[in-house]
């Protein structure tokens, strides 16, 4: 039986993907049985060919078009045979003990349905996306007003990034990042997987929301880590004026994706939960968040 099915969604990140696969197969598995599934969203950089040539043990699924995050990962799940699913961004890198420690934790912590490790940025600081609360009106207000930054140890004022909690303890957390998301496969399937209405961004928050609604516990486990190199790709090359224009277009699209997916999240989960007069302030907060997102 397969213990962990590792699903990696890739889109034009060949070098980063190769580094991730190298870290996976250099892991100290201690008898752990894994399978690795790479879902390629119609990349143009020969990513899938690289995987087939260098890592023949990896299952490769090549989509004819970019299906987005949710649908692409759901395609990978259909081929997965593991007890647990581990969704990884292609720009992550594992420590040698990450897989065995996370597996042991979830096996021993029976009330845990999903978990993440300490997800570290390239500078060593925690990736705040792996340690969040839900974007409630109050959480958004305290975040954008600067109260969270002024009072990071306050439970009342740091609801979004949960900075009032220590980062060296194990505890349930409302939201973790899709960059490193480990979950029991039967639980994932029982709630319908990723919502495919989300193309990019928000899908991890939505999944966590539905898990919480069903009483499933999601844990932050800081005793092992993975590196998340987000915002790193492309920084080593000089950009021409044309490439700069392309980068600006991509940033604008990214911002629009985030804004649209947060509206989707609001309409799906908050529309009936909060009074109508809060809709405009919440959507304004979403708009402001889209200006600073990534």
The model's pLDDT over 62-82, given as tens digits with 9 standing for 90+, comes to 999 999 889 999 999 999 999
CB count in 10 Å sphere of residue 58:
18
Tell me the pTM: 0.84
Q: Is residue 233 part of a domain?
A: no
Residues 58 and 27 in one domain: yes
Output the pLDDT for position 210.
Answer: 92
Q: Is residue 235 part of a domain?
A: no
What is the chain's alpha carbon radius of gyration, rounded to the nearest angstrom?
Answer: 19
Residues 45 and 101 in one domain: yes
Residues 36 and 58 in one domain: yes
C-alpha–C-alpha distance, residues 245 and 256, integer Å: 17
Residues 62 and 184 in one domain: yes
Q: What is the pLDDT of residues 190-234, one digit of tens each?
A: 999 998 887 877 789 889 999 999 999 999 999 999 999 975 433
Residues 12 and 142 in one domain: no
Picking from 228, 253, 270, the residue at the C-terminal end of a domain is: 228
Residues 61 and 39 in one domain: yes
Q: Is residue 147 part of a domain?
A: yes
Residues 141 and 269 in one domain: no
Whether 253 contacts 276, CB under 8 Å: no
Output the pLDDT for position 145.
Answer: 78
Residues 146 and 175 in one domain: no
Domain extent for 39: 4-131+167-228
Spell out, as residue ranges, where the chain has pLDDT lower than 50.
Answer: 232-255, 290-294
Residues 51 and 172 in one domain: yes
Task: Give the total number of structural domains in the chain.
Answer: 3
Q: Is residue 236 part of a domain?
A: no
């Amino acid at each position: 039986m397969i213990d962990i099915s590792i699903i990696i969604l890739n889109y034009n990140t060949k070098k980063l993907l190769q580094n991730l696969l190298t870290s996976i197969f250099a892991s100290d598995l201690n008898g752990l049985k894994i399978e690795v599934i790479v879902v390629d969203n119609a990349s143009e950089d020969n990513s899938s060919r690289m995987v087939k040539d260098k890592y023949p043990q990896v299952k490769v699924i090549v989509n004819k078009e970019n299906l987005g995050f949710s649908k692409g990962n759901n395609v990978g799940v259909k081929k997965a045979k593991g007890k647990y699913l581990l969704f990884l961004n292609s720009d992550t890198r594992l420590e040698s003990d990450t897989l065995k420690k996370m597996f042991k934790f979830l096996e021993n912590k029976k009330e845990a349905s999903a978990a993440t490790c300490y997800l570290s940025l390239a500078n060593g600081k925690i990736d705040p996306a792996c340690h969040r609360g839900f974007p409630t009106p109050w959480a958004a207000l305290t975040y954008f007003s600067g109260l969270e930054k002024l009072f990071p140890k306050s439970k009342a004022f740091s609801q979004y990034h949960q900075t009032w909690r220590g980062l060296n303890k194990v505890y349930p957390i409302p939201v973790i990042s899709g960059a490193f998301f480990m979950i029991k496969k039967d639980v994932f399937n029982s709630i319908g997987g990723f919502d495919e209405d989300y193309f990019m961004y928000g899908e991890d928050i939505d999944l966590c929301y539905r898990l919480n609604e069903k009483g499933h516990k999601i844990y932050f486990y800081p005793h092992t880590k993975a590196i998340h190199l987000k915002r790193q790709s492309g920084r080593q090359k000089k950009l021409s004026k044309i490439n700069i224009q392309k980068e600006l277009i991509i940033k604008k699209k990214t911002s629009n994706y985030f804004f649209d997916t947060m509206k989707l999240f609001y309409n799906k989960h908050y529309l009936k939960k909060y009074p109508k007069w809060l809709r405009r302030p919440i959507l304004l907060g979403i708009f402001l968040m889209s200006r600073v997102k990534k």
